[in-house]
């Protein structure tokens, strides 16, 4: 029993190449991955979140978009938009 648990833990510790994130994801898939509503992801794209294409062909650049989100991209983009509209 103990050796089975150790084997399972080893599998969980190191992600394999097949578990790596893809380069691109659709808006619905990226929203699901990150726990957002699809509308929010589309809004973030309009604010500058890295993506390619538009409409149903829009694909999110996964690694870049995650970095953008973690760098507080939505807040920064909204603040910049407000300053631009106030001028």
Tens digits of residue pLDDT in 13-63? 655 544 588 999 999 999 999 999 999 999 999 999 999 999 999 999 999
**What is this structure's pTM?**
0.69
Full set of structural domains in the chain with CATH: 24-86 (1.10.10)
Higher pLDDT, 85 or 78: 78
Residue 75 CA to residue 66 CA, distance in Å, equals 14
Q: Is the pLDDT of residue 87 over 50?
A: no
**What pLDDT is attached to residue 22?**
94
Give, for 60, the enclosing helix (H) or strand (E): strand 59-61
């Amino acid at each position: 029993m103990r050796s089975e648990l150790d084997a399972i833990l080893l599998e969980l510790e190191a992600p394999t190449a097949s578990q790596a994130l893809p380069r691109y994801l659709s808006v619905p898939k990226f929203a699901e991955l990150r726990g957002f509503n699809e509308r929010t992801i589309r809004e973030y794209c309009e604010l500058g979140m890295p993506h390619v294409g538009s409409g149903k062909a829009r694909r999110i650049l996964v690694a870049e978009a995650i970095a953008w989100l973690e760098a507080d991209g939505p807040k920064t983009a909204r603040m910049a938009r407000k300053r631009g509209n106030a001028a």
